[in-house]
Structure 1
């Protein structure tokens, strides 16, 4: 979790002139349940009960909001709040981000054709000029975390597949928008590269979901992935691109 201490003369934070130390609170003895936690940058130490209390309260708020069918705005505000206390890779932050990237592409006002370039960039991690910016960055960060925790897709196949699908969705939408500009804002070589990337993401998602039962959430996601893969291949043929259909 993020350290809330202040750097400067008053490390306990009573001085208004202090600045956040930017450190991370880590357990002194990771294998001990009641281990104290200490900042890796400043002297502040927290007891296990203090840490557990804070994480529990944050978890309750996250769970309540996610259960209530939140809007994009609510999740963005929640993410800003929990990020003040927790590391970006903390599981509560992960849960909020994972829900957020799905809403960005599907909630009214945030569908691909409605997203600004600024929102697309935020979602996918691509810095593109203009007004579309919100999904590749977040998706790629979540994918890195997911693949680190479960490199073989033994436990988190559905999570990673959703992220791969959403990343492909924004990559394609961004490419389509740039292609529709006059003159086109993307070269044929870059377009082929983006299409290939999108196809690889769908193929990886499909491979991870292959063992899922047909009527399960994973099985339904696999149908969506297969449908998107066929649509992408049709678009590739319409564009006359070669060398991208096999990803």
Structure 2
């Protein structure tokens, strides 16, 4: 082996690839990732095409849980292409690092777009603001310099990622082509609201940047951007909507990135891989096997929210990705036995049957005890009104009593595990013992038992819906922590025969689960609470 050279750095090799036995390395540092020697036979996956799904990643060998499957840098990152904020609020996005800012005090010294600081690290980064800085400085600017709506209407970031991609054809043609090779769902988008929203964004880009550029090109007799028509812009927006992966910054702000291989992860409401981002390495993504994966299985993540019911998840997937999911959860009317969208049957004129209604088709709910069926339209109307009540209450910083009142009001119509009751209970268990109206020292034995029972019920639900703690680790950790604290307080007050070993196990499980979110501020704070509680034991 002395004559062999390391396949990565060229130094004298001291070990060989454990898979193919033909590639050599100088140290463990050069063969840490699951890609091993980067030869085809050593990869953990292969890229295949499916008539219905398109391109996907499939395991080329048996893979153990915890193995790194993909480790790659983004082709490009940028702010989200959708806006969630209130147009009336004085909020902007830093053009360098994409963090939310509340003032226009700082600006990029070159283009004068809003920044968190004139020395923001993202302003000079060749992979961040540097891509568009010299281009947007020649924009038209706000029409009314003192009107907040006009200012916000110009410094909008929902078009910035598309503009960055468009500018790559000049800045980095190889990256531009790599993005153009991605799926755009152009035909599916034509008659959707996504297409109409993209039209409005394209109009903004044309009026403020592209039309002035075209005039300058004509005047100077040179072409700066060969492609900048509506067709290419619609394709770019389609590529973003189809492939972009959301990235949570430490503060909770969301941005997104396009990754050449990770973009091919298939959707499943029960995913088998998890991923993390290394902020210090240019938002490099590491995709890891969350469970043992057999050869031939597709790598999957979830494109939607785990704590949405099937009908909402399906609608979201159809609206944004143009397909219907047929995973194990989606085809089960009880949603893996959780009854997360199940209604109580109100029965007939003869009285209630004490049955439950689940979605048995795309168009209706059916009772498991009587012949009564309810149309999907009627269910949506009822749950829509209830959802408004829940949202309105939770937005008002309620106390435990008002939440209990709404739970009591909705319970005759919903299964105890229904997602609307779940949302209320998840808030309630965090208030019992901490809210000024119900500190631990004032809780009765019934209050303690009520909190403990809710925690146990919801832990069963989240464990069924996210068994690998991939998508809702924060929710699960909170429930385990609240259960542990409730049991500990019950032990202190000698209310019940509590096993302190179970308390400790809840905290240890919570710590293990939340560790995947420790890079985020909220995750770090919860982890600190859990570690402080463990000190007591």
- TM-score (norm. length: structure 1): 0.75
Tell me if the contact between 1:158 and 1:218 (Cα under 8 Å) persists in the aligned partners.
Answer: yes
Distance in 2, Cα, partners of 1:229 & 1:213? 17
User: Aligned-residue CA RMSD in angstroms?
Assistant: 1.5
1:81 matched to which residue of 2? 409
Q: Is structure 2 residue 431 aligned with structure 1 residue 103?
A: yes
Relative to its length, the structure with more helix (as a share) is 1
Deviates further, 215-224 or 51-60? 215-224
2:508 aligns with: 203
- The answer to whether the Cα contact below 8 Å between 2:459 and 2:476 also exists between their aligned partners in 1 is yes
Structure 1 window deviating more from structure 2 (37-46 vs 197-206): it is 37-46
**Whole-angstrom distance in 1 between the partners of 2:502 and 2:518:** 27
Aligned to 2:366: 38
- The answer to whether the 8 A contact 2:455-2:483 is kept is yes
For residues 133-152 of structure 1, the aligned pairs below 5 Å read 135-152=451-468
Q: Does 1:28 align with 2:378?
A: no
Residues in 2 aligned to 1:59 and 1:26: alpha-carbon distance in whole angstroms: 18
Match runs of 1:1-247 below 5 Å? 1-5=343-347, 11=348, 13=349, 18-29=350-361, 32=362, 35-122=363-450, 135-178=451-494, 194-230=499-535, 232-233=536-537
Partners of 1:195 and 1:88 in 2: CA distance: 28
User: In structure 1, what is the Cα distance between the partners aligned to 2:533 and 2:359?
Assistant: 44
Once superposed, which parts of structure 1, at least 4 consecutive aligned residues long, lie more than 3 Å away? none
User: Per-residue deviation at 1:4?
Assistant: 1.1
Residues 41-77 of structure 1, C-alpha deviations (whole Å, 9 max, x = no match):
1122111100111111111110110111111111001
* 1:150–1:156 contact (8 Å) kept in structure 2: yes
**Matched pairs, number:** 195
Secondary structure (helix, strand or coil) at the match of 1:154 reads: coil
Q: Could you tell me the TM-score, scaled by structure 2's length? A: 0.35
Determine if contact 2:518/2:527 at 8 Å carries over to the other structure.
Answer: no
More strand by share: 2
* Aligned-partner Cα distance in 1 for 2:429–2:461: 15
Render the CA deviation track for 1:65-97: whole Å, top value 9, x for unaligned: 011111111100111112111111111110001
Write the distance in 1 (CA, Å) between the matches of 2:476 and 2:420. 17
| Matched position secondary structure for 1:38 | strand
